[in-house]
Structure 1
């Protein structure tokens, strides 16, 4: 007998003014390898080990989360990213009470596979009624690369793409923010509804400890490591200074919290019941 899925374990919703923001756990992955190879390639092993130990993190494995975001607005339902596969995303979307046909807009924050793999199924586009939005810089850059994932998942949707740059609105109250470095045109997004705000930092920070406590530590996934580090300091610093609630694609689910300045870096403060009260 199948074990029923706990809908609260794979979707989490909170109000933001006139919006409803739902984080969707599309998948997780445990990587059985030294996390320094991914999150601290430019630091001494003993320094990395000290930070991991002090944060009660293992030295031989790390956990990743893949969390698209659905924002229900008066202008329609806007989905940010599509996870590792359509199957994982659709399970979480169903738990949140929606079907693929409900989605009006799909926004691609960048073109890495764990964000675009859910765009297509064997039958065609996963979200047949949706317009698709991507950053112009990002799309143009990947168009010049040799990427099987881009060609299979993104290129077929080019005719229905709308392109944005930093400062452009996806719909009223959702604004693109340049966050280049992780990829050539990686975008964050700022939400603003009825005076309440939230920052989707996406992959600006890839780990809730290493990438925040030490923004200058190089991450293997970052295509331009110097630019990515500068972007981390700028974007995360803005969120900390303005005390904005934050969603991070790879933060521990429900991927929602705050960041606070601490020393030369930042600390992740995860969502609690109090967060829901404050956001409401």
Structure 2
């Protein structure tokens, strides 16, 4: 199910729902164990069960530039298959809004966790063969330094020649920037277009809007992630911006003040 697009900074931004469902039993835990340090007031008004919406974002402008932010969970045999509701529906979502895989000129991977990156490869070949895949250099180094692992073998290596590793903040196409936001992973990045910030997993659950210091169990560096989240939310709130989140029930979120 795609949502109606909204315009930010000259780009039409369309949220695309790759999948929806709870975490699989291999990593499912009660919410207070997944998100620690939250008070009862922080939890007030948040859902009792965490049903994840696995979301990607399509950016298009009047000059024909097509940018895809995150690529979802992939097929039934993807690295995400042990815990996420595969297969993902991203390619069908794109087709519904008139975009074929070959039309995508730039893919931005906010990070290389399996639910954000596995859809980059289908049956061992790049899903988006004409796209440069923008990833932070620190993220690539982290995965390559981790020894043999599914993301390295089944995502990064098939993308050889298509990866554009950047260091820190960069304008990837005119009007679209990435910024390094480490913590959830070492090379996590967000995408900024106009007043919209596409957050990847800097913010995973609404409780972290109520209290940015709340830690998440699957952050690589929970303390750094909290510091990054606090700084990002402070900056977005100061300029009255919006968030485009990866896992909230609705795609566009006003972070409030």
TM-score (norm 1): 0.80
- Give structure 2 stretches of 5+ with no counterpart: 76-87
Listed as ranges, the matches of 1:1-280 within 5 Å are 9-31=1-23, 33-40=29-36, 42=37, 47-48=39-40, 51-52=42-43, 54-55=44-45, 57-58=47-48, 61-73=49-61, 74=63, 76-85=65-74, 87-122=88-123, 124-146=125-147, 147-192=149-194, 197-208=195-206, 210-253=207-250, 255-261=251-257
Does the 8 A contact of 1:183 with 1:224 survive in 2? yes
Does the 8 A contact of 2:109 with 2:134 survive in 1? yes
Alignment RMSD, CA only?
Answer: 1.8
CA distance in 1, matches of 2:104, 2:7: 18
- Give structure 1 stretches of 5+ with no counterpart: 1-8, 262-280
Moved over 3 A (4+): none
Displacement of 1:57: 2.5
Higher CA-based Rg: 1
CA distance in 2, matches of 1:91, 1:76: 20
User: How far does the alpha carbon of each residue in 1:146-182 deviate from its partner, in whole angstroms, 9 at most, with x for none?
Assistant: 3212321122213221111222111111111121001
TM-score (norm 2): 0.87
Distance 1:234 1:51, change over 3 A: closer
Does the 8 A contact of 1:116 with 1:154 survive in 2? no
Displacement of 1:222: 0.8
Determine which structure has the larger helix proportion and give its number: 1
Does the 8 A contact of 1:164 with 1:176 survive in 2? no
**What is the aligned length?**
239
Distance 1:56 1:188, change over 3 A: closer
CA distance in 1, matches of 2:204, 2:164: 27
Displacement of 1:81: 0.8
Does the 8 A contact of 1:24 with 1:89 survive in 2? yes
SS of aligned partner of 2:216 = coil
SS of aligned partner of 1:67 = strand
